[in-house]
Amino acid sequence: MSDHSSKIDAYALTNTGRIRKNNEDAVLLLPKMQCYVVSDGMGGGKAGEVASAMMVQEIESAFAKDCGMPAERDGFVIRSAYRVNEMIRDYADEHKYSSMGATFVCLLMDAWHPSMATIFHAGDSRVYRFRENRIEQLTEDHTVAAASKMDEGKLAPMFRGVLTNALGTGTDFFIERNSIDVQEKDLYIVCSDGLSRMVSDANILKICEMLGQESSQVICEELIKTALDFGGRDNVSVIVIKVDRLGEDYQPTEEECQQESEAQVRNLMELSDTPPTEIISALDTL
């Protein structure tokens, strides 16, 4: 039911980096569904790899149902994340892992309205948008630094890089969901913090300005290379999505409209968002 006249050029890469021995990141590119996911595993070694793989595999399995209704697609992502949150906890308990978890971020284009998209995220993996020679971070990190509105370098060392929300954190886990507009010639970057911590927003902007007319593959490769050139201290994963042309809105049938309304109600009742995690009061003294 999606309008297939939209022309989107997307490419994904992941790299272990220059320091780590294994890659705990996972990426998912579903061009037909216009669904793009990055998950950054935590816990070291196999624990992190398993956690991030669970996330992308669960979403891929959900989208195998090939449903074209926007609310159902939203539900696929959200339900997958909550399932994986529990799966990671169970796996960690079984294997005696104490800090197993994963971030995730998903950019999902609207199936009926090509000029709209939704971002889902938990943790510090990000989505950027390059539009009209400006770079904009479309997600807010779920970290101590972001929640306290402080520069990470000014925090006590024990709080630097600490997440306030991620898959595997149990009952405190939440998904932040934001709707965005999409325009022709937009360029989106979905990435793990292996990019954002190594490459400044200003340098990401320079790359987009310099290579904006090139393919998503060329831009993606340059972003990865730059992260490695600047130290590559973490795994780095990047998906670049170029919106070359937008299709027209899909006109649903009455039956589809009814099904969409029912799916929206189910999502509201079952999958409501929660506010960002409160930061412990100790930060007030920093």
Give the CATH number for residue 95: 3.60.40.10
Question: Are 192 and 237 a contacting pair, CB within 8 Å?
Answer: yes
- Examine residue 1 and state whether it is found in any structural domain, yes or no: no
- Examine residue 285 and state whether it is found in any structural domain, yes or no: no
Measured torsion, CA atoms of residues 196, 200, 203, 209, in degrees rounded to the nearest 10: 60
- Examine residue 211 and state whether it is found in any structural domain, yes or no: yes
- Examine residue 284 and state whether it is found in any structural domain, yes or no: no
Note the pLDDT tens digit of each residue in 54-111. 999 999 999 998 677 899 999 999 999 999 999 999 999 999 998 899 999 999 999 9
SS3 letters for 137-167?
Answer: ECCCCCEHHHHHCCCHHHCCHHHCCCECCCE
Q: Which pLDDT does position 205 carry in this prediction? A: 98
Q: Which pLDDT does position 66 carry in this prediction? A: 67
Residues in the chain, how many?
Answer: 286
pLDDT lower than 70: segments of the chain:
1-4, 66, 271-286
- Examine residue 77 and state whether it is found in any structural domain, yes or no: yes
- Examine residue 85 and state whether it is found in any structural domain, yes or no: yes
Q: How many domains does the chain have?
A: 1
Domain that residue 27 falls in: 7-279
Q: Which pLDDT does position 278 carry in this prediction? A: 41
Q: Which of 32, 43, 15, 190 is nearest to 111 (CA)?
A: 32
**pTM, rounded to two decimals:** 0.92
Note the pLDDT tens digit of each residue in 211-237. 999 999 999 999 999 999 999 999 999
Distance of alpha carbon 108 from alpha carbon 160, whole angstroms: 30
List beta partners, residue 53.
Answer: none
Q: Which pLDDT does position 172 carry in this prediction? A: 86
